[in-house]
Chain A
């Protein structure tokens, strides 16, 4: 038997920072849910809203992202050469450059620099890279006082905790908890009951540190190889003080921060501020060519030393990451935190659970794996692949894809069990996925179980709900017993649909093929039938294809070989239909998103991917285009008066549907038909495919869902109830679990109100 999980009161976040052992991950989730969650939620969601608002104000937001991406790609491609160019520029100006291969090399260099100048006090600006190399610990061991001057870092130093966010490292601390912490640690009688009082308290301590520091240590957001310019973004003024007041300035900078020219810093100015804190510009954005010419600051009695500048470039695994086709993407990261703030799981537990010893959130796993060991990235399990971060990343990193690859690598290291061997044989898993854990093979091959269950639905449904079977499923593959299993239908969509031969009727308004995705074919059959009914009513010629797994489930479990095999087979099936002049309709958004987005990594033929991307549609999205093309008003086709659930709706779109741009159409269409629609604004419902079905993550999944349930309750608070409408299969399950009410798909509702 494993040891019982510790209660949160006993936990110091440091003790669960490394999650090589899965138990630590579970302890950290529990700690975060019990203690930190409300504060994290408030702070990340404030950042998230701010980012949407600020980026909307940038008229060239997409062009800026493209430009930033291109610059980062070039920089990493030219990195070794840029390092040498930068070295020459800085040295010609009288500065020193040290390239640290490992964290220890950097520690040694900074420590010896500090001891050489006789430093007693080092003041630090915010630098997560210095956290990565554990610099404070090394300097303190050498008898040097280290003062963290960013207020969040100051809190963490007092509390001895690791950062919980890439740009707001103490984001998990509420004002009340900071008050309690300061009163306890500083033994002060001061009230410290407001943000102003706490700020003033810390400011007075730190002002003395700035004025008397011997060495200032900063990071840098970017550094230009042609001029040696550091770009430093902040809001408190501490980084300015740290970089200009002490006579010795040490900048600890990851090598990936180097870009070719100072001019190319331009697109990052607004992009970083908007993506990070949701501002048009942060309070201070400095561009320094150190050593700067200003005289160092020296209070009376302190000798005025000449300025020194040391650039410590950190490799620590980065040059190895550069050679890794997947992890190389991580080096484009400009550390804005947008992927953290837009992530529903991160918004609920923050970076002490969804993070490692230094880095956190969606991108954090790749950082931890790249600079350390693969097992350190185990927390990336909390990336559900919902993809909400994808469009938020200012350098267009496909973060879910990185995490699916990490999962794939972790799967291979898991070691085979009897059960995983059996599942491999049953599902005919490709060789590369053979050794994956049983739970991954089970959830990744859902279609196999669904297909068998649908052959004998009565038996499968009663078995699936028996206590014994649920106990076995819980113990063997980690399926949470509190989750209701979907019922297998008496007839699959394929067998229930009236097959047509596919010949185009001469007067058809459109030619389409409905792809019966696994979730619709073996579960939500009514949705598929409704799509057929609506499209045919408008005069479209619709055929239904065979049902095949498209690889979504496998991809989300990191079974990349399986996903590749499946999506290639499904792609060739759909491509044939496209070749016959048909557009493809897919009801389940996660399946649709495979062809619109994820398949780019898995299909070898990029022209085929492009055909699929441009010819696959969500049903209501397609309806919108079709009626517009025909010049029909939606109200001439649908009669809202016939609605069996009234005209007031609460609509929740699917996370991946939002990412591929297929969500807004449904909302607009329902309104155009005459419904009164309130939409959810959550990033994801928390179920996220199979994530919420796993017993390890059930509590987290429900806690994420609470935001959605709360929005439903608020939409209904002062008025009558609203009918619940959702586009995703797992969102439907989650909404049902939270609200205990029927949930309709938009197409089902539309099919019910077709005019004769």
Chain B
């Protein structure tokens, strides 16, 4: 323990050098701006900005990347809150309550709580990282393909069941999402599935296109209604970017509870920020005394996933640094950059390059503080986006969506997919099918199928492997409870309602 603290101290000394402080701040600001553009989430943000780091030494490069990574996480939720367009999967949950808050004229509180929650979540996770890096890495190794598959099933069924009284439609949305994920060349056999002989579909459909189509385009289509009505007014007056005491009271515990959850999920390779933020959202909704407020601008519903999301981004560094297995797209890009610099992440990183590893961990603490400090005044500028009249703002959102989608793969075919998913989202909203399960399914679908098949192969075709460990059984129980619990709850509330109407 003493040597951990000693290492951490020397890490702090390195990270606190003025040059490194400047790099964290500059990386953070650049990352925030890139993260705000739809389609350019942390992974793309880091990838795009990585050339800046090539001329630096490994320590400076790592510190800059941490700044960009954090900045992009902050930025992604900015656009979720202001224009309902998440920059990436992890910022998805921020749209559920963040955007309704902005629509109710509480954008200032929403932006402030998101910065505060991100800061607290990230800091708690960084503390965990210091203490738990090694044991968590060992726990993550227990997850074989069967456990991964079950973890994803549990996360998906929780999200699908979340939509109250609407469970069946949640599962419909989920299955359609998994079907979308099956499009493309199958990685294990090389067989083209559902590509309709379109070359661009062979690589599969990028989940960002689905997200941007459903959320950004869906929002634009929805706004047409208010434009036709002539009802929606632009916000003209802006308050201070801060929260009230009451709002803090409501979000305090959700933030603190979500940070460890996010950290652990983030540390599982392949799970990442999206699953962490969605699970913490579901969690808080179950625990809340006012679940009906969720989705209509409940501040806890924004605070919890924001905390989890940033905690997960710290957790995701664990498998990358300690095992050499990247836990998410962003960490994969960062690992690529490290390899280019001649540093091999893995168990030996902490002994061979302790300066790199520990100054990265120290720069997470400092990056968190710097980003919270720059983001609150920056939010004061950003919130003025809402002063643009809807008639002009939504065409701009539309334009940004198309550019963002083009930037993903440089293909116009994605434009047509974007329109298709925009229309799909529009129709799903009309017939009341929730879209979140579908999006999560598109994100994890591929990995889910691959782990399923790997598990089956390991067990030589027997399904017994899915009940082969305590962890697996625990995950199955969670899944069953998540499906059955809402049914029972519905049944009883229906019974109560019918009794009441009998009396009446």
Q: Note whether A and B form a binding pair.
A: no
Chain A residues within 8 Å of B, Cβ to Cβ:
none
Chain B residues within 8 Å of A, Cβ to Cβ:
none
